A and B are shown apart, each in its own frame.
Chain A
């Protein structure tokens, strides 16, 4: 455990030093405060928009941003150390591969989690002060918690990438493709299935397919509680056959644990 914390501490310090924490927090804070105040601009009014509109627009932005940030932060965490030779050196230390991986995960996951909490939390507090509605806090805590899980999930996925390739530039390429697939292409494919194939997909079938994408689970978690008027696309269909929040969170959690376990497995078999 001491070893894991030593590695985690180093990775967290790196995140502070490289200004990752501060920049992610700022991006999230600016976005969420901006959306909170100007979200209603489209309907011609400047001011605090309705809670559901705010959360809906935050979720649809976060679903693109969080995976991208997580992948950017961690895609080189193994392949980078492999290229500089420190990975080999670390493995001659009394430090197991799973300890190293978990340490990195805690450190870098900590950066993402803290940035999410601070960035989105600030606008939650602001909104609460403006509206005085306790619902703000509940929906924001669901939003923030699921956003953290989404970030952790993509951190674990980027470890998979980082451990499977041998060059940093390849890892960057794969990270970009992964982001594109999960954040954009998957939804388009689902929509195509829905529209293109008649009677091909039932509502529950669609929801099950969505479980294959952590970004979609995140969307479901945050949008299912809202008026469906704020939601469109494939999601609206899925929401009608929605799963319970607990089930969705379990699925999202599985999207953290499974890639992480797989990453440990790949790391153990990796040749050095």
Chain B
């Protein structure tokens, strides 16, 4: 394996009072798509800015394609990096084509490439119109076209699907998959979790500047040890009477069995042995639940002391 495209080692950024990013170590390989999740103020944008070389780390090391992105030597690598900021409103009085041509020229490309990109994101019909007449979705497409200039080796996309309709979202993910198969690495930053799962190789969860978890979805699911939800139908009361099954039932959802991953198959077999079974729904924990799990875990440890005391008190009572 050659050198990672992005590598952060204990990298952090502090402003006067605030640790925007505490200490993060991560590597992104060529052709890998990383999902970066976290709520507002989690440090996602700070991390992106560090990788882009717009700010310098307060501690630790950041390397992009083998160079510190804020150094002079990294200058020429910048044209191989594409970035879509979260909130950007392009020059309103310019037409879409003029905006994209300006950005393309700054990266050393021509108007022709700009037109091709506009075609790729599907706004050729509006390219001669001023950006101020664009809808939210069209602006987002223009931003994406801007990030795609020059087939970047590294793409950083902050909330790329905000404002896109389902078809445009699908087109967008198609482009991401295509870039990935061409060997580009992508960092996708998002709060919107559904839909993103199939397109990322690994996920990173950040909260208040801290890295909570990182890994493939499978690894994260294992770490989180979230139960699988199994919904049988047609069994009526017999689940509650089955001693092997009724311990998986919880009070707030009496129809659904919450089963740990390793017991899934044995429970399924047991369910199949019931003749009245009509249908089964098996749902493994999705990214959103994994994300929620790590966040709540983090909040728990933040108020750790308090909670431990609380739990102890409960234990004594029972």
Contacts and interface: CB of A to CB of B under 8 A. Distances in A.
B83 A14 contact: no
A94 B83 contact: no
A95 B88 contact: no
A18 B93 CA distance: 9
B146 to A, nearest CB: 8
B106 A94 contact: yes
A247 interface: no
B263 to A, nearest CB: 49
A88 B87 CA distance: 10
A2 B79 CA distance: 14
A10 B100 CA distance: 12
A90 interface: yes
Interface stretch (B32-40, B46-54, B115-123, B226-234): B46-54
Nearest to B53: A92
B91 A3 contact: no
Interface in B42-91: 49, 52-55, 75-76, 78-79, 81, 83, 85, 87-91
A93 B93 contact: no
A224 B93 CA distance: 44
Contacts of A13: 98
Interface string A12-29: 011001100000000000
B78 A93 contact: yes
Contact of B88 (A2, A14, A18, A86): A86
A86 B83 CA distance: 11
A89 B89 contact: no
B106 A89 contact: no
A130 B258 CA distance: 98
A6 B90 contact: no
A7 B106 CA distance: 8
A250 B102 CA distance: 36
B76 A89 contact: no
Contact of B93 (A6, A14, A85): A14
Contact of A91 (B54, B76, B103, B146): B54
B106 A272 contact: no
A85 B49 CA distance: 13
Given A18-B93, A272-B49, A272-B55, A94 B85 contact: no
B251 to A, nearest CB: 49
Contact of B52 (A2, A10, A92): A92
Contact of B102 (A6, A85, A94, A271): A6
Nearest to A99: B106
B27 interface: no
Nearest to A93: B106
B128 interface: no
Given A84-B88, A85-B87, A94 B76 contact: yes
Contacts of B78: 92-94
A38 to B, nearest CB: 37
B107 interface: yes
A86 B90 contact: yes
Contacts of A90: 106
B191 interface: no
Given A85-B85, A86-B88, A89-B83, A6 B106 contact: yes
A85 B76 contact: no
B105 interface: yes
Given A89-B83, A272-B54, A272-B55, A95 B89 contact: no
Nearest to A100: B106
A93 B107 contact: yes
Nearest to A17: B93
A97 B67 CA distance: 20
A22 to B, nearest CB: 15
Nearest to A95: B106
B88 A85 contact: yes
B156 to A, nearest CB: 8
Q: In this complex, which of B76, B103, B106, B107 has the most chain A Cβ atoms within 10 angstroms of its Cβ? A: B106
Nearest to B102: A10
A92 B102 contact: no
B85 A89 contact: yes
A92 B83 contact: yes
Interface in A67-108: 84-86, 88-95
B279 to A, nearest CB: 50
Interface of B: 15, 49, 52-55, 75-76, 78-79, 81, 83, 85, 87-91, 93-94, 98, 102-103, 105-108, 146
27 contacts: A6-B106, A7-B106, A13-B98, A14-B93, A17-B94, A84-B89, A84-B90, A85-B87, A86-B88, A86-B90, A86-B91, A88-B49, A88-B85, A88-B88, A89-B146, A91-B54, A92-B52, A92-B53, A92-B78, A92-B83, A93-B79, A93-B103, A93-B106, A94-B78, A94-B106, A94-B108, A272-B54
**Top 5 A-B pairs ranked by shortest CB distance?**
A85-B88, A94-B78, A84-B89, A92-B52, A6-B105
Interface of A: 2-3, 6-7, 10, 13-14, 17-18, 84-86, 88-95, 271-272
Given A86-B89, A92-B54, 20 more contacts: A6-B102, A6-B106, A7-B106, A13-B98, A14-B91, A14-B94, A17-B93, A84-B89, A84-B90, A91-B54, A92-B52, A92-B81, A93-B78, A93-B103, A93-B107, A94-B76, A271-B55, A272-B49, A272-B54, A272-B55
